[in-house]
Structure 1
Amino acid sequence: MIDYNHPAVRYYQEVSEQCIHYLSIDGVIFGFHENQLKVLLLRWKNTTEWSLPGGFIRKAESVDVAAQRVVQERTGLDKLYLQQFHVFGEANRYDQADTWARTKLPIQTVKWSERTISIGYYALVEHSKVVPTPDFMTDECCWWPIDNVPSLLFDHNNIINVALGSLRKQIEDQPINHLLPETFTIPELQRLYETILGYPLDARNFYKKIVGSGALERLSERRAGTPHKAPYLYRFKAKHL
């Protein structure tokens, strides 16, 4: 017997009526905090299972607008940098029976899609501005270090890996200032690059390259409270934001 009051059933009914069938959005929301690249994850209700934020595309909205909505609802941010990075459309993306069993949803009474194609977007956000917000299907929304992500539902571990690979390949062309506060030091910017790339950079070469790019403006203020000589603060010039 179908429990029409169950949130999963209500959600399925909404998707069936208002959304494009078999097509979804998965969002990889990157943040940088305490010298770690982090990703925002959701823990499903009454389980220890985690997944990426995601959702379906409404019939009256564009794909980009749907992605903005999905990420905005989880972060509380209305100004977002989003990059579409891949379409996940393999015929067998994951073990359907095992995955739905882990969610503890009443799939015995609901005919869920046998196959869904997912459009992946990654977002670059400033960690301190995010208000992590779970949805009605989840109990918790929080940051996980990229190197410590658990085994996720669906094929979401693979989606994160593909998103990170895409960010690494395009790092020179991406506005990574979205991951930083407005002002920062050159060593702090270097640590961000190293965290994304996954390997150390030579400090002198990095300084020459980043300052020589003309993208930064040096301020008169210095970073107080550092163990060595207080470094100058910088910010990205407006045309590079």
Structure 2
Amino acid sequence: MQEKTKNSLIHFDVNNFVSGQSVDCVIFGFENGELKILALKWKVPGEFWALPGGFVFKDEDLDKAAIRVLKERTGIDIPFLEQFKTFGKVDRRDNDILVKNLKSIEVNKKMVDWFGNRFISTGYLSLVDIRKCSLTADLSSEAIEWFNLEDLPDLIYDHKEMVKTALKYVQNQINYLPIGLNLLPEKFTMKELQMLYESILGRKLDRGNFQRKMLKLEIFIRHEKQLEGGAHKAPYLYSFDKEKYQELLDKAIGFVS
């Protein structure tokens, strides 16, 4: 495993990338009533967890760099991507720890010096259906895992701040983002939809009011009840009418308030 790390870094030519510019991705998923974040564990000595991130080729658009980096580092083809903030504090990275770890895996001095420069990072967020994600960590990562939002490991640099900022962005834009369409399975119950919005907003919603407001939007296709446990007891399953859903997003008609 150590040899793979060395090889992946040996073939990393810093001359191909824009100096001082990086991208980092906050990937939201939803499972078992919990909002989740995707993180990678670096393949270096110690416990270093980070958001999926990387660098920008000199001949590459920034948005395309974020899409490429996410695919290379996690294996995910994203259905949704949005830039939410640029992070540029002078002290946002602990370069001493970074340089020490790079030296421990015997990369060349030129690469150590390049990684030790100041980097400004552009943050992107994505909303994905965990059930459709086949995760594949890249050669520089030891592990890749989904974590509950409240149980994140210690993240490097300012990545914890990135997560908080991305969540606040989603909360503020909740009526303009494809929240349910991207985070829920194809068929879901109204209870699951309510739990999703509650996990994002961080507060409870009145069940009756929520369901009445949602059904009034007329963006759902209702399916027959499942037979397990008796049809009269099983909740209805719903899926989104994607065309009507998109119309509401385009018109900025609120889902919740």
TM-score interval, smaller chain: 0.7 to 0.9
Letter in 2 for 1:115: R
What is the distance in 2 between the residues matched to 1:167 and 1:41?
18
Structure 1 residues 66, 224: closer, same or farther in 2, change over 3 A?
Answer: farther
Is 1:232 the counterpart of 2:236 in the alignment? Answer: yes
User: So what's the TM-score if we normalise by structure 1?
Assistant: 0.88
What is the distance in 2 between the residues matched to 1:88 and 1:143?
23
Map of 1:171 onto structure 2: 174
What is the distance in 1 between the residues matched to 2:199 and 2:231?
22
Is 1:80 the counterpart of 2:83 in the alignment? Answer: no
CA contact (8 A) 1:30 1:122 kept: yes
What is the distance in 2 between the residues matched to 1:227 and 1:211?
21
- State the shift of 1:48 in Å: 2.0
Map of 2:33 onto structure 1: 35
Selected match of 1:44 from 12, 22, 42: 42
Map of 1:23 onto structure 2: 21
Secondary structure at the aligned position of 1:151 is classed as: coil
- State the shift of 1:206 in Å: 0.6
Aligned residues: CA RMSD: 2.4
Map of 1:127 onto structure 2: 130
CA contact (8 A) 2:6 2:107 kept: no
CA contact (8 A) 1:223 1:232 kept: no
Map of 1:147 onto structure 2: 150
User: So what's the TM-score if we normalise by structure 2?
Assistant: 0.83
Structure 1 residues 79, 89: closer, same or farther in 2, change over 3 A?
Answer: closer
Secondary structure at the aligned position of 1:55 is classed as: strand
Letter in 2 for 1:199: R
- Identity among equivalent positions (%) equals 38
CA contact (8 A) 1:23 1:116 kept: yes
Letter in 2 for 1:6: K
Letter in 2 for 1:208: R
Map of 1:6 onto structure 2: 6
Secondary structure at the aligned position of 1:25 is classed as: strand
Selected match of 1:208 from 207, 212, 218: 212
What is the distance in 1 between the residues matched to 2:33 and 2:231?
17
Map of 2:254 onto structure 1: none
Structure 1 residues 160, 227: closer, same or farther in 2, change over 3 A?
Answer: farther
Structure 1 residues 137, 75: closer, same or farther in 2, change over 3 A?
Answer: closer
Structure 1 residues 226, 196: closer, same or farther in 2, change over 3 A?
Answer: farther
Secondary structure at the aligned position of 1:194 is classed as: helix
Letter in 1 for 2:26: V
CA contact (8 A) 1:8 1:106 kept: no
Letter in 2 for 1:97: D
- State the shift of 1:224 in Å: 4.0
Secondary structure at the aligned position of 1:190 is classed as: helix
Map of 1:192 onto structure 2: 196
What is the distance in 2 between the residues matched to 1:71 and 1:27?
7
What is the distance in 2 between the residues matched to 1:94 and 1:61?
24
Residues 59-105 of structure 1: per-residue CA shift (max 9 Å, x gap):
22211111111222344343520111100012221332245446755
Map of 2:59 onto structure 1: 60
Letter in 2 for 1:184: F
Letter in 1 for 2:23: I
4+ residue segments displaced more than 6 Å: none
| Equivalent residues, number | 235
Residues 16-65 of structure 1: per-residue CA shift (max 9 Å, x gap):
22111111110111111111111111111143221110011112221111
- State the shift of 1:121 in Å: 0.5
What is the distance in 2 between the residues matched to 1:141 and 1:43?
6
What is the distance in 1 between the residues matched to 2:227 and 2:197?
19
What is the distance in 2 between the residues matched to 1:149 and 1:203?
29
What is the distance in 1 between the residues matched to 2:232 and 2:200?
25
What is the distance in 2 between the residues matched to 1:116 and 1:123?
22
